[in-house]
A and B are shown apart, each in its own frame.
Chain A
């Protein structure tokens, strides 16, 4: 297995925030969703990969190369889509693209025009006249027009309507189809993860909670639900978190077999989706 991105022991602190010794890899040919609450460290991690901010310690390798020593080469092979895009607001889509094209040896106008068509963008329109969603699409079109092998996207689908989100999902699936490219995208929209992510990395308070194949995560965890009488006889240590109400409890756990054996049909064992797992994991214990 060849990794397109490798992050090891990466740390960065400023103010009260600390990205704490994180690490994860992305295998060639797959899409990784990057999730976590606001302020968890997603954007910081992405900026560190792009060397837009300086790391305190650790290692980042892109295409097997150190991201600082080989910054120029790496950046020419990355497509970068982020929230606060810097374009010349008074220039047209086409003129902005011309300025971007100059940076890339492998720029293809044929590809660019193809994406502009798919996204329904007007080349003559000025950037300032574009909606947020249109700007994201323009940004994605430029990111995909220079044969990038890794797409880094910070919340690409956040300002988009469901139809546009689906268009982007389709394009990303087409993008990785040849098995040679990878995508890392951060998002709050869990349905995007459920639809297209092969791997999910979950970051909370500057630490990686898990970085794993999506199907394995879904296989591993269960939500056990039952009456309060059962809650009295179980060890809460076996749960990642338990939520209770007047009529019963529900708890996230990996050891659901144990409870199934003891309580049988007196409990309900549900398969959680990624969003539910995340909600249980970010909440404080015993809320």
Chain B
């Protein structure tokens, strides 16, 4: 598992952790039943507060990426193919929403954005 924290990012640290673990699960790098580090161990390793990793895991658990068995640990939950496709779409949607908001700030029109995407997609 790879997690890289940026301190200059606008994204809160717990979101960075959530996002990166999600990405690894969706990409299939973290497979079903893989044991994740405890929130306390992860906090120590990353040099962040326990409450931060706790929040990240809570979010992942709520969205069905991981599950915790009390006394045993935290594991990557089983993901069915449709779920994964949904989740991928949802992640891309979230990214797109950010981009669209930026575009609005910089007064870039919908057509201009679509044109940019067309060029870049090639």
Is A215 among interface residues, defined by CB-CB distance under 8 A? yes
Binds B, one of A13-21, A57-65, A126-134, A167-175: A167-175
Of the candidates B47, B50, B105, the one whose C-beta lies within 8 Å of that of A30 is: B50
Of the candidates B40, B48, B51, the one whose C-beta lies within 8 Å of that of A177 is: B40
Contacts of A218 in B (CB 8 A): 12
Contacts of B14 in A (CB 8 A): 215
Q: Would you call B41 and A177 a contact (CB within 8 A)?
A: yes
Q: Would you call B49 and A197 a contact (CB within 8 A)?
A: yes
Q: Would you call B50 and A214 a contact (CB within 8 A)?
A: no
- Of residues A30, A173, A197, A265, which shows the largest number of chain B Cβ atoms within 10 Å of its Cβ? A173
Q: Would you call B51 and A176 a contact (CB within 8 A)?
A: no
B40-64 with Cβ < 8 A to chain A = 40-41, 43-44, 47-52, 55
Q: Would you call B51 and A214 a contact (CB within 8 A)?
A: yes
Q: Would you call A173 and B51 a contact (CB within 8 A)?
A: no
How many residues of B are counted as interface, with CB atoms below 8 angstroms from the partner's CB atoms?
A: 14
Q: Would you call A198 and B105 a contact (CB within 8 A)?
A: no
Is A31 among interface residues, defined by CB-CB distance under 8 A? yes
- Of residues B41, B43, B50, which shows the largest number of chain A Cβ atoms within 10 Å of its Cβ? B50
Contacts of B43 in A (CB 8 A): 173, 177
Q: Would you call B52 and A195 a contact (CB within 8 A)?
A: no
B3-53 with Cβ < 8 A to chain A = 12, 14, 40-41, 43-44, 47-52
Q: Would you call A179 and B40 a contact (CB within 8 A)?
A: yes
Is A36 among interface residues, defined by CB-CB distance under 8 A? no
Is A29 among interface residues, defined by CB-CB distance under 8 A? yes
Contact with B along A7-49 (1 / 0, CB 8 A): 0000000000000000000000111000000000000000000
Q: How far is the CA of A265 from the CA of B47 in the complex (A)?
A: 36
Task: List chain B positions with a Cβ less than 8 A from chain A.
Answer: 12, 14, 40-41, 43-44, 47-52, 55, 105
Closest 4 CB pairs of A and B: A198-B51, A173-B44, A177-B40, A198-B49
